């Protein structure tokens, strides 16, 4: 696996692969890789000749009181894991390479609609940071396709919208959530949980599943189900941010006869913020 830190270096390698007629899949990450990330790379390997992975902890998507400074940076371990799944190129730029004038001064990409509400309520500006860095990375790598985990469901819809609106010729592939043995969605932030919090954490998925079961049995009182979900999370020991039933993909309030829904939740355990979701067809 090649490791490249500069934009010029990535462009050179991509150009050489393009001249050989190779297709390219791209997996953007912030590092501290777990099995969920590796499943993105494995999927990418099945879809394209060459797989590029980026590791970049993007300052623009973190709020002032968030975990940018303490977000784990484990480049050597990540690099070994990527070699283990046969990634072809690791792009790990320093912040100055991506934001030479600082991220506050940089041009931004705003995606209205899907980036509003849900996670954006407590993380204003987060999806602008995500859309901006993903647009920059897409322009650098120019892949045929890019793969994102479905755990960050709202993020995935923001990126799909941006790609459609800005006419990027890139196929966006969502990859199912990888879960721990007890149902907890894999996330780099799970490592922040202490033992007591880790024991509570799987109940986030349990509450999503209970709600999905109730919907599958015909319940359509979405507001009451959301309130019940919030109450169940509180009882379990979470400090919930939201528990929402939405139209899948569009993230709008669902009609009573909606055929495809998504239940999304964000909740804190101590200082750690967890998110999860469950899509269901009725
Ligand atoms: O999901 C992530 O890890 C990040 O939000 C992403 C897409 C790599 C952009 O920084």
pLDDT, tens digit, 9 for 90 and up, residues 127-159? 999 999 999 999 999 999 999 999 999 999 999
Query: To which residue do tokens 């998507």 refer?
Result: 61
Tokens of 178: 């990888």
The domain locations on the chain are 2-175, 188-277
Strands laid side by side in the 239-247 sheet: 239-247, 260-269, 272-281
* Fold (CATH) for 188-277: 3.30.1300
pLDDT of residue 128: 98
To test ligand 1's pocket by mutation, which of 27, 54, 58 has the most ligand atoms within 8 angstroms of CB?
Answer: 58
**Distance (Å) from CA 28 to ligand 1 centroid:** 6
Alpha carbon 238 to chain centroid, angstroms: 21
Determine whether 37 is an active site residue: yes
**% of the chain exceeding 70 in pLDDT:** 100
Mean pLDDT of 215-222: 97
Task: Give the tens place of pLDDT for each residue, 151-184.
Answer: 999 999 999 999 999 999 999 999 999 999 999 9
pLDDT of residue 162: 98
Task: Give the tens place of pLDDT for each residue, 222-275.
Answer: 999 999 999 999 999 999 999 999 999 999 999 999 999 999 999 999 999 999
Around ligand 1, the residues with Cβ closer than 6 Å are: 28-30, 58, 61, 130, 133-134, 152, 155
* Model pTM score: 0.98
pLDDT band at 216 (very low <50, low <70, confident <90, very high): very high
Mean pLDDT of 31-35: 97
Question: Which element (helix H / strand E) includes 92?
Answer: none
Dihedral sign from CA coordinates of 181, 153, 279, 40: negative
Hey, whose CA ends up nearest to atom 2 of ligand 1? 29
Task: Give the tens place of pLDDT for each residue, 111-133.
Answer: 999 999 999 999 999 999 999 99
Query: To which residue do tokens 């390997």 refer?
Result: 45
Mean pLDDT of 17-41: 98
pLDDT of residue 246: 98
pLDDT of residue 92: 98
Question: Which element (helix H / strand E) includes 145?
Answer: strand 145-149
260-269 and 272-281 as β-strands: parallel, antiparallel, unpaired?
Answer: antiparallel
Residues 6+ apart with CB under 8 A from 4: 10, 13, 89, 90, 91, 92
Question: Which residues is 240 bridged to in the sheet?
Answer: 267
Question: Which element (helix H / strand E) includes 219?
Answer: none
Contact 10, 89 (CB under 8 A): yes
pLDDT of residue 240: 98
From 191, 172, 180, 154, select the one nearest 275 (Cα to Cα).
154
Catalytic residue among 37, 103, 126, 255: 37
Query: To which residue do tokens 């001249």 refer?
Result: 19
User: Mean pLDDT score of the chain, rounded to an integer?
Assistant: 98
To test ligand 1's pocket by mutation, which of 68, 137, 152 has the most ligand atoms within 8 angstroms of CB?
Answer: 152
**Distance (Å) from CA 215 to ligand 1 centroid:** 31
CA distance 260 to 150: 15
CA distance 56 to 38: 16
pLDDT of residue 152: 98
H helices present in the chain, as ranges: 7-19, 35-47, 75-84, 95-98, 119-122, 126-141, 153-165, 195-200, 203-216, 222-236
pLDDT of residue 68: 97
Question: Torsions phi, psi of 168, nearest 5?
Answer: -70, 135
CA distance 258 to 70: 41
**% of the chain exceeding 90 in pLDDT:** 100
What is the assigned CATH class of domain 2-175? alpha beta
């Amino acid at each position: 696996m090649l490791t490249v830190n500069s934009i010029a270096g990535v462009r050179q390698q991509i150009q050489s692969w393009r001249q050989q007629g190779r297709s390219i899949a791209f997996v953007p990450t912030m590092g501290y890789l777990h099995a969920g990330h590796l499943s993105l790379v494995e999927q990418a390997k099945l879809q394209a000749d060459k797989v590029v992975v980026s590791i970049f902890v993007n300052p623009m998507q973190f709020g002032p009181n968030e975990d940018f400074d303490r977000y784990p940076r484990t480049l050597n371990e990540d690099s070994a894991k990527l070699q283990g799944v046969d990634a072809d190129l690791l792009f790990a730029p320093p912040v100055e390479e991506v934001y030479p004038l600082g991220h506050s001064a940089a041009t931004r990409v705003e995606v209205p609609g899907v980036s509003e509400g849900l996670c954006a309520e407590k993380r204003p500006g987060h999806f602008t940071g995500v859309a901006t860095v993903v647009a920059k990375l897409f322009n650098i790598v120019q892949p045929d396709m890019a793969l994102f985990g479905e755990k960050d469901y709202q993020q995935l819809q923001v990126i799909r919208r941006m790609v459609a609106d800005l006419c990027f010729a890139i196929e966006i592939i969502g990859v199912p959530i990888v879960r721990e043995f007890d149902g907890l969605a894999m996330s780099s932030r799970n490592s922040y949980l202490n033992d007591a919090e880790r024991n509570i954490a799987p109940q986030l998925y349990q509450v999503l599943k209970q709600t999905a079961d109730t919907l599958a049995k015909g319940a359509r009182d979405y507001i009451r189900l959301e309130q019940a979900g919030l109450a169940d999370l509180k009882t379990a020991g979470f400090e919930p941010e939201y528990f929402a039933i939405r139209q899948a993909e569009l993230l709008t309030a669902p009609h009573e006869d909606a055929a495809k829904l998504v239940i999304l939740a964000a909740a804190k355990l101590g200082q750690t913020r967890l998110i999860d979701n469950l899509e269901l067809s009725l």
